[in-house]
Structure 1
Amino acid sequence: MTHDTIVLGAGMVGTSVAYHLARRGRSVALVDRQLPGQATSFGNAGIIQREAVQPHPFPRDIGTLMRVLPNRRIDIRYRPKGMAASAGPLWQYWRHSAPARYAAIVNEYATLIRHCTREHEVMIEASGAESLVCKTGWLEGFRSPPVFDEVLANARTLERCFGVTHEVLDQRALGNAEPHLADELIGAVHWTNAWTVRDPGALVQSYARAFAGLGGAIEHTEAQRLDPTANGWRLMTRDGRLEACDVVIAAGPWSLQWLEPLGYRLPLFPKRGYHMHYALRKGARLYHWLMDFESGYLLAPMQNGVRLTTGAELSTLDAPIRTGQLEAAEAVARRLAPLGERLDAEPWRGDRPCMPDMKPVIGSAPRHGGLWFALGHGHQGFTLGPVTGRLLGEMMSGEPTLVDMTPFRPERFGGAGR
């Protein structure tokens, strides 16, 4: 079958790219071995994070590094094999987290984040997915005054510089907002212009249906080989051959398997996360998405139960599940929230595609015509999918872009290959 464009990867990013291209009249095939929204986009915390203008830096102070070293934290763990496999990108990550470099990265990254809710709104309306989305923000709770004060000072900066809005809840106000929590948190920041989603996978599926309604083709099949041709690209799949003038690589942490055979050596590395759903004890409720900031886990009242998500594990894509991080988070969470029995047969795991400079890669390949990148969104693929879709649609159609795309170009990694 012949199309104008093939999009490899049907997570939030790939589905959003496919939608925006189809809106521009292109014939688009969205290809994935799983149905839309069933991989990394399925298992996240379900927050469209308007406040997340500061990507996660690598810790640089000795105190934090020493606390991470024993490998028993909830927010970050590591496996030696994963550290060795990603040694080069992690070294670059540490360098880019130096204060001056990080400050510049925040200013560039914020140009994307500031448009996230508006661009989701376009796709929410087009897909009729309003019932999945709540626009009342989420809570970040704190256990110690020094940490609370530090985050409050930063919140005021974010509001002044980036339009991030918030409210401060003292312990009494937090108790009123969440009356079934134990009295362990001294207060919270309510991030008020972020949105939450009760079923992240279902939101991606809604966007995919909107794409199909524009004439887009969803190819649920195993992609096997990608080759350039005289007129564009050929993708061999388990079920046959697809050809197109353009191909977009939006396969998240699996993107390198398509790029490396073409000679591209992007320093992408995975950060794994886990989740589990829980019932609540009889009569109890959780009203808001709530992060226990100093412990490093998040509780989200999803459609399928309260979802507990862990922080990050530096690992490899093929590493087996280790449940220690989730179990440690659950032990702390049970002291704070009225969690009942587990609702999933086993923990879910997913891998976030991360870049060492904490910014996604969006743009055209430097050495192949018709090859485009939409990958490396780290912790924010769910948040940034629609704005990435719009931007790539604009670039591929020769339109002016919503933001300056220079900070996100593939060439920033030394030609993006050997």
Structure 2
Amino acid sequence: MDCDILVLGAGIVGVSTALHLQARGRDVCLVDRAEPGSGTSHGNAGLIERSSVIPYAFPRDLGALLRYGLNRQPDVRYSPTYLPRLAPWLAAYWYQSAPRRLEAASRAMLPLVERSVEEHDQLVAAAGLEHLIRAKGWMDIYRSPEALARAADEARSLDRFGLRYEILDGDALRRREPHLGPVAAGGIHWHDPKTVLDPGALVRGYAELFVRRGGRLLTGDARGLTRRGDAWCLSVGDLDLQAPQVVVALGPQSGDLFRQLGYRIPLAIKRGYHMHYAPVEGAGLDHSICDAQSGYVLAPMARGIRLTTGIEFAHPDAPANEIQLRRAERLARELLPLGRRLDAEPWLGRRPCLPDMRPVIGAAPRHPGLWFNFGHAHHGLTLGPVSGRLLAEVMTGERPFTDPTPYGAQRFG
């Protein structure tokens, strides 16, 4: 079986890339070893995060570093045995988080962030998935007036980006979310983002749209990719797929393939967890909220109220560890009444992250016909459609909507 392009990975990035290539007349085969949207795309907080114009940087304040070093914070946890292996990557992340470099990363990411909602809107409409989307924005919650005042100053410093937000004192916050506990001193309501009631279902819906439009969705292991002459080849069951071009969009598994092909791209994994809770009768949640000082999100989802944790640095394949989830759950119950757990065990996800806080989108430097689209860190759901569009424009010779240079793999040598 031949096609024009193999897209490896059926998460939000791979499915979106396949749709954009298909829309430009290419015959695309989309391959994954699991169901679309069942990996990292399934377990996130469901935010299409238009307001995240500044990437998540490594803390550079000495007091914060000391607190994190104690390994008792709810937003970041690390495995002491894994930390030495990750130290070079963390050092590069710290280096890239210096003010001047963070500003450069922000400028690089802004064109993608600015188009994120618009690109989702187009796919949502085409796939008929409006029932999964809410246009209520989301809220950062603060536990003290002092923290709220600092956050308000930081929000005002972003006014040059034209973001829509409101600063809410405790009374105004509880008029919007009446069941928040007294520990919530106020918040910031960001209006530009949208939220998703079931991120996995959204990705599956996009994949169904791809199939309805004539695309082929196949089950296979991307690690079997080989090069024969001018073709990229992959055996999928009894089929031998061949294509002149291939896209690696495997999220946290992308390293399994690009390292096999000889690329030294510093992709690391930030782990995270989620758990669903039954709403307490008469005490629901209408907006997605982030406990900004503790790093977890509570989001109303189709299955219940989803709690997503912050960052865990541990071996990607290590068993799940409930320490961070239990810390976040204790704090979340102070903020909002939560019923029983609805999942038999916590979901564990892996975020693919690069130290300069931007993904790899573009051609592989040393292999004709090989393309990359991975490393979206905390914003894979947000940036999947827009990065899929950018790569499709570059691959098909269109004029890209923004300069793709900042995302090139060549920046890593």
Q: How does 1:39-50 map to 2 (within 5 A)?
A: 39-50=39-50
Q: Which runs of 4+ in 1 moved over 6 A?
A: none
Percent sequence identity is 50
1:104 aligns with 2:111: no
Aligned twin of 2:280: 281
Give the distance between the partners of 2:46 and 2:378, measured in 1 at CA. 11
CA spacing shift, 1:348–1:364, aligned 2, 3 Å: same
Aligned twin of 2:389: 390
Contact residue 45 and residue 298 of structure 1 kept, 8 A: yes
What number of residue pairs does the alignment pair up?
413
Q: How does 1:196-215 map to 2 (within 5 A)?
A: 196-215=195-214
Post-superposition CA distance 1:35-64 (Å, at most 9, x none): 110100000000000001111111111100
Give the distance between the partners of 2:43 and 2:280, measured in 1 at CA. 23
Give the distance between the partners of 1:107 and 1:244, measured in 2 at CA. 35
Aligned twin of 2:268: 269
Question: Residue 103 of structure 1: CA displacement?
Answer: 1.3
Aligned twin of 2:114: 114
Give the distance between the partners of 1:168 and 1:239, measured in 2 at CA. 59
Aligned twin of 1:29: 29
Aligned twin of 2:234: 235
Contact residue 110 and residue 162 of structure 1 kept, 8 A: no
Contact residue 6 and residue 31 of structure 1 kept, 8 A: yes
Question: Residue 18 of structure 1: CA displacement?
Answer: 0.5
Give the distance between the partners of 1:117 and 1:297, measured in 2 at CA. 22
Give the distance between the partners of 1:225 and 1:281, measured in 2 at CA. 48
Give the distance between the partners of 2:87 and 2:187, measured in 1 at CA. 36
Query: Counterpart of 1:2 in 2: which secondary structure?
Result: coil
Structure 2: give runs of 5+ residues left out of the alignment: none
Contact residue 224 and residue 237 of structure 1 kept, 8 A: no
Question: Residue 205 of structure 1: CA displacement?
Answer: 0.7
Contact residue 34 and residue 220 of structure 1 kept, 8 A: yes
Aligned twin of 1:72: 72
Give the distance between the partners of 1:85 and 1:193, measured in 2 at CA. 39
Question: Residue 240 of structure 1: CA displacement?
Answer: 3.7
Contact residue 198 and residue 301 of structure 1 kept, 8 A: yes
Contact residue 81 and residue 316 of structure 1 kept, 8 A: no
Give the distance between the partners of 2:249 and 2:395, measured in 1 at CA. 15
**What RMSD over aligned residues (CA atoms) do the two structures have, in Å?**
1.1
How high is the TM-score relative to the length of structure 1? 0.97
Aligned twin of 2:367: 368
Query: Counterpart of 1:140 in 2: which secondary structure?
Result: strand
Aligned twin of 2:289: 290
Give the distance between the partners of 2:84 and 2:7, measured in 1 at CA. 31
Which AA in structure 1 matches 2:117?
A: T
Question: Residue 108 of structure 1: CA displacement?
Answer: 1.2
Contact residue 224 and residue 236 of structure 1 kept, 8 A: no
CA spacing shift, 1:173–1:311, aligned 2, 3 Å: same
Question: Residue 8 of structure 1: CA displacement?
Answer: 0.8
Aligned twin of 2:139: 139
Give the distance between the partners of 1:240 and 1:321, measured in 2 at CA. 36
Give the distance between the partners of 1:256 and 1:218, measured in 2 at CA. 22
Question: Residue 281 of structure 1: CA displacement?
Answer: 1.6
Aligned twin of 2:186: 187
Question: Residue 266 of structure 1: CA displacement?
Answer: 0.4
Aligned twin of 1:167: 166
Give the distance between the partners of 2:26 and 2:354, measured in 1 at CA. 30
Contact residue 276 and residue 342 of structure 1 kept, 8 A: yes
Question: Residue 272 of structure 1: CA displacement?
Answer: 0.4
1:3 aligns with 2:3: yes
Query: Counterpart of 1:18 in 2: which secondary structure?
Result: helix
Question: Residue 239 of structure 1: CA displacement?
Answer: 4.6
How high is the TM-score relative to the length of structure 2? 0.98
Which AA in structure 1 matches 2:193?
A: A
Aligned twin of 2:85: 85
Give the distance between the partners of 2:356 and 2:146, measured in 1 at CA. 29
Question: Residue 161 of structure 1: CA displacement?
Answer: 2.0
Contact residue 144 and residue 186 of structure 2 kept, 8 A: no
1:315 aligns with 2:289: no
Structure 1: give runs of 5+ residues left out of the alignment: none
Aligned twin of 1:327: 326
Query: Counterpart of 1:201 in 2: which secondary structure?
Result: helix
Range moving further from structure 2, 351-360 or 214-223: 214-223
Question: Residue 220 of structure 1: CA displacement?
Answer: 2.2
Give the distance between the partners of 2:25 and 2:271, measured in 1 at CA. 37
Question: Residue 301 of structure 1: CA displacement?
Answer: 0.6
Give the distance between the partners of 2:77 and 2:411, measured in 1 at CA. 29
Post-superposition CA distance 1:377-409 (Å, at most 9, x none): 000010000001110110000001011111111
